[in-house]
């Protein structure tokens, strides 16, 4: 039995190989790539949210070049501290699965047998993720209506995806662990300097989150040498600035042949109260 639940009635879903079926016979086909669409239109919101194909491809190209490898390693190391054989792990807002598959590989290297799931609202993203990583079950769904049984997960990872504390606390077991990463104050500072007339440093918010005890913070800072304008554009399209940038800034971005900039993150760990 998986920890996935029926988005219609909330019953447990059973994987029959070609589909997931609940006790009330609601059935959800597994796509050829391997993911299951558990997104009900009423949960998708008015517009189709989540990353589109271009954004997913840009993220994959950028991440697969290893630019964020130090962050990925820090998240893998943190995840290993809190898992044992039989643990259930969920990547909420998993995107195209870069961190999901890296964490999965870290468990494999350490001989820790886990059951791992990834959820993202973007069907394109979970399709990419499912093609990349066959030993993780991926579902298209919103983190605001996770199709995941209550108190079923030992570890939840969420990387730069929307935060839904109520849902994350609901699916975690008592004492379960949540790991997330946030940009810290100097993140992409040189990129911002190159583009904006008045760049601002990131404001780091207080760590406290309702329903969770904050148990760890690790700063992960490193220098990235972006070797061509494609990589610079890919990185920029992964940031929230992408949506807020005017024509002049866009032109400055396009004109950058290469760029050395800081990556500055914090990996935060929480325990469900």
Ligand X SMILES: C[S@@+](CC[C@H](N)C(=O)[O-])C[C@H]1O[C@@H](n2cnc3c(N)ncnc32)[C@H](O)[C@@H]1O
Of 125 and 177, CB closest to ligand X: 125
What is the biggest distance separating any 2 CA atoms in the chain, rounded to whole angstroms? 59
Nearest to 103 by CA among 187, 131, 92: 92
Using CB under 6 A as the binding rule, whether residue 125 contacts ligand X is answered as yes
**Three-state DSSP state, 232:** helix
Q: Which one among 34, 80, 160, 256 touches ligand X, defined by CB under 6 A?
A: 160
Closest CA to 97 of 79, 116, 84: 116
Please, are residues 187 and 160 in contact by the beta-carbon 8 Å criterion?
A: no
Give 90's contacts (C-beta < 8 A, 6+ positions apart): 3, 116, 117, 118, 119, 146, 148, 153, 155, 156, 157, 171
The nearest distance, CB 23 to ligand X, in angstroms, is: 26
- Complex with Zn ion: residue 11 or 70, whichever CB lies closer: 11
Site for ligand X in 64-123 (CB under 6 A): 93-95, 98-99, 120-122
Partner touching 160 among ligand X, Zn ion, none, CB below 5 to 8 Å by kind: ligand X
CB nearer Zn ion, residue 18 or residue 46: 18
Q: In the complex, what is the shortest distance from the CB of residue 98 to Zn ion, in angstroms, rounded to a whole number?
A: 32
Which residue in the set 22, 56, 178, 224 belongs to the binding site for Zn ion (CB under 5 A)? 22
Question: Exactly one of 161, 180, 235, 253 binds ligand X (CB under 6 A); which one?
Answer: 161
- Using CA atoms, how far apart are residues 101 and 130, in angstroms rounded to an integer? 10
Q: Which residue has the tokens 């004492």?
A: 175
- Give the one residue of 101, 142, 184, 234 binding ligand X; rule: CB under 6 A: 142
| Cα–Cα distance, 116 to 198 (Å, whole number) | 43
| Residue 8 lies near Zn ion (rule: CB under 5 A) | yes
Work out what residue 122 binds among Zn ion, ligand X, none; the CB cut-off runs from 5 to 8 Å by kind. Answer: ligand X
| Helix or strand holding residue 242 (H, E) | none
* Contact call for residue 11 and Zn ion (CB under 5 A): yes
Asked if residue 26 binds Zn ion (CB under 5 A), the reply is: yes
Per CB under 6 A, residues contacting ligand X are 49-51, 59, 93-95, 98-99, 120-122, 125, 142-144, 159-162
The site for Zn ion (CB under 5 A) is made up of: 6, 8-9, 11, 22, 24, 26
């Amino acid at each position: 039995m998986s920890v996935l639940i029926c988005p219609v009635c909330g019953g447990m879903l059973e994987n029959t190989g070609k589909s997931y079926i609940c006790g009330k016979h609601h059935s959800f086909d597994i796509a050829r790539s391997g993911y299951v669409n558990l997104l009900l239109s009423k949960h998708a919101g008015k517009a189709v949210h989540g990353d589109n194909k271009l954004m997913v491809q840009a993220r994959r190209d950028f991440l697969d070049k290893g630019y964020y490898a130090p962050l990925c390693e820090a998240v893998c190391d943190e995840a290993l501290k809190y898992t044992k054989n039989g643990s259930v792990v969920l990547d909420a807002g998993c995107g195209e699965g870069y961190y999901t598959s890296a964490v999965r590989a870290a468990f494999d290297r350490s001989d820790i047998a886990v059951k791992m799931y990834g959820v993202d609202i973007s069907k394109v993203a979970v399709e990419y993720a499912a093609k990349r990583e066959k030993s993780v079950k991926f579902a298209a769904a919103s983190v605001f209506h996770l199709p995941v049984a209550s108190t079923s997960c030992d570890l939840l990872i969420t990387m730069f995806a929307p935060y839904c504390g109520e849902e994350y606390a609901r699916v975690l077991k008592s004492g379960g662990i949540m790991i997330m990463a946030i940009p810290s104050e100097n993140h992409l500072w040189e990129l911002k300097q190159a583009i904006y007339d008045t760049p601002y440093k990131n404001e780091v918010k207080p760590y406290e989150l309702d329903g969770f005890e904050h148990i760890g913070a690790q700063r992960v800072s490193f220098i990235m040498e972006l070797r061509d304008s494609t990589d610079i554009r890919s990185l920029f399209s992964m940031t929230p600035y992408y949506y807020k940038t005017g024509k002049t800034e866009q032109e400055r971005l396009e004109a950058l042949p290469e760029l050395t900039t800081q990556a500055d993150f914090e990996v935060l760990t929480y325990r469900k109260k």
